[in-house]
């Protein structure tokens, strides 16, 4: 399997078994998971929000946490660096991204060594997908 950079928005549906889960399951069978250092925090934040809003039961939340823990055992994680932060700042000037999305995209750029052409970026957020596409990633909507 080839590696792909996975944004948090692509992993939440797998963990929480949401609408996009079948597509995410298929993609997990095709691509190795590469993530940014803060991805586990972002996914857990989403899971807690789903629990608080009643979109996940306590049992579903526990299952989602277990799926995230299993995923973490097999993924590659990119650590934060000053270069990553600098890249995120430049991306904010170029694209209408949130801080978290800029950090995700900067990590993906770091993963490619600054050469994203042909590398896969998997995401569930249209704005972030568009920015990744403009940078040269092969984007896949989760």
Express each pLDDT in 21-78 by its tens digit. Answer: 567 888 999 999 999 999 999 999 999 999 999 999 999 999 999 999 999 999 999 9
DSSP 79: P
* pLDDT reading at 20 higher than 90: no
Fold of 1-142: Rossmann fold (3.40.50)
pTM over 0.95? The answer is no
Residue 118 φ/ψ, nearest 5 degrees: 85, -10
Collect all residues with Cβ–Cβ distance below 8 Å to 13 and sequence separation of at least 6: 19, 20, 21, 23, 24, 124, 142
């Amino acid at each position: 399997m080839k590696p792909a950079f996975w944004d948090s928005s692509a992993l939440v549906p797998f963990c929480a078994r949401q609408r996009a889960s079948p597509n995410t399951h298929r993609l997990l069978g095709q691509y190795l998971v590469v993530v940014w250092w803060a991805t586990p925090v972002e996914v857990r934040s989403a899971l807690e929000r789903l629990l608080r809003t009643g979109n996940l039961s306590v049992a579903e939340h526990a299952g989602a946490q277990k799926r995230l823990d299993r995923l973490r055992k097999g993924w590659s994680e990119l650590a934060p660096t000053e270069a990553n932060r600098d890249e995120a700042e430049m991306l904010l000037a170029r694209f209408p991204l949130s801080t978290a999305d800029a950090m995700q995209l900067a990590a993906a750029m770091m993963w490619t060594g600054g050469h994203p052409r042909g590398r896969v970026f998997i995401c569930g957020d249209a704005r972030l997908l568009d920015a990744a596409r403009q940078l040269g990633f092969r984007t896949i909507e989760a």
